[in-house]
């Protein structure tokens, strides 16, 4: 029996690669952020916190180092570097240690490659061709494994890669873990994955009477997505169709795709696909100002294009991004319900842009709305909800809204205790915020007295 919050599994990576976006900001070995990182003098690509991190990473880096040096100043893509490390492991006969843990025995040779599916997938075969082209530059033809071996390794890498995230669930790298790859997917999981550096931890978010691998599930995709989008991602990335309870229930999708009825007296909202007619309800019938299907489809496409532009602009001035979000939101509010997934995605962008630009009051307004949608669409005890609450509470504290901040931070604590545990740095940061908040309230009360 495992209770919610219990650790089910912890694992160090078999191979890992720091994201190119984080190069120079984080250590290539432990993924911790830092200044004055020490660069490898041979390849001049990877950087380390100190000599200890470099020494610990040497077993992994020693084969890669001359390859990176050979193509410097060019640096291969993250996927190429991960594939290179796997190829070097295979050449050395290293399949990972078969260590027995709470989940089970596992090494790299146990992974399924889905080679047949990949051979029929044009995008994947083209991706493999590009990787092999670069591997030839890195290794040379004589050191390159046969084509079937490359296909097998490539498939295992694609299907079993984990995106490594920081404390705020932002991607910072990619890695292959052995035992965690046993865990199946569910859009309504009973466990979550978190990271502390490169170390992966799986914790139960529900009570699990029999915590055997077959009874533990994690989510492979973001749950802030419609059923159709989740199914598409799972089919394209992992070659299966999810049949979980959430995928058999369309109620959340109706809210995620909700549009406002445009008829005069109707205050309801309707699913984007409901009866192929957006005004089909008892209150408004079929007449009046109902939106036509093609009109909403065009508006959806316009909103998606707006989100794409905002994503591109996010690399520049956050104040400009915030202004773009405001303009797009004014249009969305005419048609979409508050919890429409596109509105939520826009609010997330506006929230982050408000923080980055230092517009705290505006950021808080958006953050409060984001957390409402997160609570609705993410399962209970989701780390996404906990982190969002923590960010909102931190802003409330900064704006000296101490009672509201304390309530928000305590709500975050209930979730993050389950998903991250007391030993995680994120929980330490949260505990410090709660301490600051209570001390501020104590001082204010003493002054009043």
Whether residue 184 is contained in a domain is answered as yes
pLDDT at 432 over 80: yes
pLDDT at residue number 293? 55
Other beta carbons less than 10 A from residue 102's beta carbon: 15
Q: What is the mean pLDDT of the chain?
A: 88
CA 135, 136, 137, 143 dihedral sign is: positive
| Structural domain count, the chain | 3
CA distance 157 to 113: 8
Q: Are 263 and 284 in contact (CB under 8 A)?
A: yes
CATH of the domain at 399: 1.25.40.10
Q: What is the mean pLDDT of residues 245-262?
A: 82
Q: What is the mean pLDDT of residues 402-413?
A: 97
Q: What is the mean pLDDT of residues 5-13?
A: 95
CA distance 359 to 337: 25
Whether residue 257 is contained in a domain is answered as yes
pLDDT at 367 over 50: yes
DSSP character for 167? T
The reply to whether 192 and 74 lie within a common domain is yes
The reply to whether 96 and 203 lie within a common domain is yes
362-388: b or e for each residue (b if 16 or more CB lie within 10 Å)?
A: bbbbbbbbbbebbeebbbebbbbbbbb
Q: Could you tell me the pLDDT band of residue 328, with boundaries at 50, 70 and 90?
A: confident
CA distance 76 to 70: 11
Residue with tokens 């309800």: 281
pLDDT at 288 over 50: no
The reply to whether 398 and 417 lie within a common domain is yes
Strands (E), 248-335: 258-260, 269-271
pLDDT at residue number 377? 93
Other beta carbons less than 10 A from residue 185's beta carbon: 16
Share of the chain above pLDDT 90, in %: 68
CA 212, 30, 149, 154 dihedral sign is: positive
Question: Which residues span the domain enclosing 111?
Answer: 7-238
Q: What is the mean pLDDT of residues 285-289?
A: 39
* SS3 label, residue 71: helix
Whether residue 2 is contained in a domain is answered as no
The reply to whether 181 and 300 lie within a common domain is no
Q: Which helix (H) or strand (E) holds 4?
A: none
pLDDT at 311 over 80: no
pLDDT at residue number 415? 98
pLDDT at residue number 330? 82
Share of the chain above pLDDT 70, in %: 88
CA distance 36 to 122: 43
Whether residue 190 is contained in a domain is answered as yes
194-230: b or e for each residue (b if 16 or more CB lie within 10 Å)?
A: bbbbbebbbbbbbebeebebeebbbbbbebbbbbeeb
- Name the H helices within 140-263: 147-160, 227-238, 251-256
Alpha-carbon dihedral 430, 434, 439, 441, rounded to 10 degrees: 140
Q: What is the mean pLDDT of residues 363-382?
A: 94
Token couple for 299: 């508006």
Whether residue 287 is contained in a domain is answered as yes
CATH of the domain at 190: 3.90.1410
Answer with the residue of higher pLDDT: 414 or 319.
414
The reply to whether 382 and 333 lie within a common domain is no
The reply to whether 124 and 232 lie within a common domain is yes
pLDDT in tens, 156-193: 999 999 999 999 899 999 999 999 999 999 999 999 99
Strands 7-11 and 161-165: unpaired
The reply to whether 157 and 204 lie within a common domain is yes
Q: Are 13 and 60 in contact (CB under 8 A)?
A: no
Residue with tokens 């939520």: 344
pLDDT at 251 over 90: no
Answer with the residue of higher pLDDT: 56 or 273.
56
Rounded to the nearest 5°, which phi and psi values hold at 223?
-80, -10
Q: What is the mean pLDDT of residues 34-47?
A: 94
Q: Closest Cα to residue 381, out of 221, 153, 207?
A: 207
pLDDT at residue number 284? 47
Q: Could you tell me the pLDDT band of residue 353, with boundaries at 50, 70 and 90?
A: very high
The CA angle 99-105-108, to the nearest 5 degrees, is 90
Q: Could you tell me the pLDDT band of residue 267, with boundaries at 50, 70 and 90?
A: very low
Residue with tokens 């041979």: 42
Q: What is the mean pLDDT of residues 13-26?
A: 96
pLDDT at 8 over 80: yes
pLDDT at residue number 275? 37
The reply to whether 264 and 362 lie within a common domain is yes
DSSP character for 208? B
The reply to whether 184 and 107 lie within a common domain is yes
pLDDT at residue number 54? 95
Beta partners for residue 164, in sequence order = 173
Q: Could you tell me the pLDDT band of residue 142, with boundaries at 50, 70 and 90?
A: confident
Whole-model pTM?
A: 0.89
Answer with the residue of higher pLDDT: 329 or 174.
174
CA distance 68 to 88: 13
89 Rama sector, left if φ>0, alpha if ψ -120 to 50, beta otherwise: alpha
The reply to whether 109 and 223 lie within a common domain is yes
Q: Could you tell me the pLDDT band of residue 308, with boundaries at 50, 70 and 90?
A: confident
Alpha-carbon dihedral 287, 292, 296, 297, rounded to 10 degrees: 160
Q: Which of 368, 390, 416 is the last residue of a domain?
A: 368
pLDDT in tens, 88-123: 999 988 877 655 555 556 789 889 999 999 999 999
pLDDT at 278 over 60: no
pLDDT at 276 over 50: no
């Amino acid at each position: 029996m495992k209770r919610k919050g219990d650790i089910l599994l912890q694992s160090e990576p078999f191979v890992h690669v720091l994201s190119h976006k984080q190069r120079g900001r984080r250590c290539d070995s432990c993924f911790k952020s830092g200044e004055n990182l020490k660069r490898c003098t041979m390849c001049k690509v990877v950087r380390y916190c100190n000599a200890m991190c470099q020494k610990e990473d040497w077993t992994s880096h020693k084969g890669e180092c001359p390859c990176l040096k050979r193509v410097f100043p060019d640096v291969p893509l993250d996927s190429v570097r991960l594939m290179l490390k796997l190829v070097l492991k295979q050449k050395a006969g290293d399949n990972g240690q078969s260590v027995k843990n709470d989940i089970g025995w596992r090494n790299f040779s146990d992974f399924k490659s889905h080679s047949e599916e990949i051979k029929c997938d044009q995008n994947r075969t083209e991706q493999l061709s590009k990787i092999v082209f670069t591997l030839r530059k890195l290794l040379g033809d004589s050191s390159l494994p046969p084509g079937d071996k490359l296909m097998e390794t490539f498939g295992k890498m694609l299907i079993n890669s984990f995106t490594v995230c920081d404390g705020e669930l932002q991607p910072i790298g990619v890695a292959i873990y052995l035992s965690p790859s046993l865990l199946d997917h569910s859009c309504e999981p009973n466990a979550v994955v978190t990271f502390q550096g490169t170390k992966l931890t799986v914790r139960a978010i529900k009570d699990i009477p029999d915590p055997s691998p077959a009874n533990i599930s994690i989510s492979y995709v973001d749950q802030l997505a419609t059923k159709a989008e989740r199914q598409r991602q799972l089919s394209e990335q992992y070659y299966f169709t999810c049949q979980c309870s959430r995928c058999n229930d369309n109620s959340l999708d109706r809210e995620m795709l909700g549009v406002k009825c445009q008829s005069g007296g109707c205050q309801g909202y309707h699913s984007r696909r409901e009866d192929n007619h957006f005004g089909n309800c008892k209150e408004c019938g079929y007449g009046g100002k109902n939106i036509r299907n093609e009109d909403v489809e065009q508006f959806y496409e316009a909103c998606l294009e707006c989100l794409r532009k905002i994503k591109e602009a996010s690399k520049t001035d956050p104040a400009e991004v915030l202004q773009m979000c405001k303009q797009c939101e004014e249009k969305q509010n005419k048609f979409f319900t508050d919890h429409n997934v596109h509105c939520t995605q826009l609010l997330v962008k506006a929230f982050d842009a408000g923080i980055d630009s230092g517009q705290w009051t505006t950021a808080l307004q958006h953050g409060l709305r984001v957390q409402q949608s997160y609570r609705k669409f993410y399962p209970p005890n989701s780390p996404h909800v906990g982190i969002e609450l923590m960010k909102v509470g931190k802003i409330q504290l900064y704006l000296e809204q101490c009672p509201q901040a304390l309530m928000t931070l305590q709500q975050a604590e209930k979730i993050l205790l389950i998903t991250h545990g007391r030993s995680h740095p994120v929980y330490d940061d949260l505990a410090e915020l709660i301490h600051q908040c209570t001390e501020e309230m104590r001082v204010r009360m003493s002054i009043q007295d």
